[in-house]
Amino acid sequence: MEFRQLRYFLAVAEYLHFTEAARFLGIAQPPLSQQIQKLEREIGTRLFVRHPRRVELTEAGRLFRERAQRLVEDAELALAEAQNAGRGESGRLILGFAGSTVFHPFVAALLQRYRSAYPRVVIGCEESNSSALLDRVHESKVDAALVRLPLDCRGLSTQALVEEDVIAVLPPAHRLGRRRRIELADLAADPLILFPRGIGPDLYDSIISACRAAGFNPSISMESPQISSTVNMVAAGFGVTLIPSSMRQIQAKGVTYHDLNGRSLRTTIALVHRPREKAPTVQNLVRIVRDVARNRTQE
């Protein structure tokens, strides 16, 4: 039994007339009649009673129509779902996030744009540090990840999204708390709270290098498990810290946020993914990222 025979049968069952059914199908009437006869021989019973100007379904034909209709509908649904998946319009996307990236409004806007364009894609999220996320992408445990640069992304494709300044966070009643902008060198005497070097070695080293360029070797008083948690440790009075500017929205009692003079410290949020990625869901995400990044450079 061929799939086209089911379609032919359903057309005749709808019109109860071979000529009209053939016209609907866009074929000649004799081949249609031949295919219905072939189907009846294969089933072993008549599906239609032929009259001079019309046909009618036999009891077997009525029962067969119900099943045939379901088969055709299921096949058409399977075809549509396969086509949607092939275009990345359905399926699943596992996206990793470095914790500090979610604070930037650009990231939320990017995800909203992707969700609007591909509402049937299920997005799974995994939060970790940037270095761990690189391993997850390499191992195909996540499809792509939003990380912070600088970062050694060898072996992966990288698309920069947005660059932002690094700012200082001071504890309550700090001597510099009333200043809007400060020099990095002003913090030479303060204990510095940083995240462990292992979760972002390049960013960590860039902060240390910037401090040394400002004329001092920072005194690391404590390490915080994530960049985002350093602010709460500052609020507790353990020292000062340096964070991406988008994280100033973290509400911690008494802390103050300060821009740094000069442009010696910057960090970039980037999308990383495997090169020559073939998954349509990832390809669509990369295309949107590139479109948004291109539009930003043209503004």
Range 4-15 average pLDDT? 84
Q: Answer yes or no: same fold for 90-160+270-298 and 162-267.
A: yes
Is it true that domain 3-86 has CATH number 1.10.10.10?
yes
* 76-120 confidence digits (pLDDT tens): 665 655 665 565 666 788 999 888 888 888 888 888 888 888 888
Into which CATH architecture does domain 90-160+270-298 fall?
Answer: 3-Layer(aba) Sandwich (3.40)
The full set of domain ranges for the chain reads 3-86, 90-160+270-298, 162-267
Q: Give the model's pLDDT for residue 149.
A: 87
* pLDDT band (50, 70, 90) for residue 174: very high
pTM of the model: 0.68
Please answer whether residues 17 and 32 qualify as being in contact, where contact means their C-beta atoms are separated by less than 8 angstroms.
no
Task: For domain 162-267, give the fold.
Answer: D-Maltodextrin-Binding Protein; domain 2 (3.40.190)
pLDDT of residue 14: 85
Share of the chain above pLDDT 70, in %: 92
